[in-house]
Amino acid sequence: MKMKNQNKSGRPIKEIAIKKGYRVNVKMATEEYYTLKAKAKEAGVTISECMRRCIKNSVIIQRHSPEILDHIRKLSGMANNLNQIARKANAQGYLNARREYFFLADKIDSLLNLIQNDS
């Protein structure tokens, strides 16, 4: 005898894809919790529904890879070198610094291309 099929006047059984069967525990600081609580109240939904909407509508940006971070550090060093070349050019004349400038500009272009291709 099937007990579930006999009572047809009750609530219909939810599909597995719709059923909320997973629980996630999140630790928050006091300020974060009360901010979330206020936003949920303002929207007129429960905290759980507010979190579901945040998850559904948010975009997560991937962290930079170690290679990209290395390229950024190199670019920072090259920017320092470029400033030194500009200072030298202003003090000694532009002809002496021109060769250094073109060399560094070529390296910067290469690094920017590497970063652009990695992203």
CATH architecture of 16-57: Orthogonal Bundle (1.10)
Instruction: For residues 29-51, give the mean pLDDT.
Output: 95
Q: Give the mean pLDDT of the chain.
A: 82
- pLDDT one-digit tens code per residue, 51-92: 999 999 999 888 888 888 888 888 888 888 888 877 877 777
Q: 71: burial class by Cβ within 10 Å (0-12, 13-18, 19+)?
A: buried
**pLDDT-derived band of residue 36, with 50, 70 and 90 as boundaries?**
very high
DSSP conformation letters of 29-42: -HHHHHHHHHHHHH
Residues 6+ apart with CB under 8 A from 65: 118
Structural domain boundaries of the chain? 16-57, 66-118
Q: 57: burial class by Cβ within 10 Å (0-12, 13-18, 19+)?
A: exposed
Inter-residue contact 118 to 65 (CB < 8 Å): yes
Instruction: For residues 81-109, give the mean pLDDT.
Output: 77
Instruction: For residues 27-33, give the mean pLDDT.
Output: 96
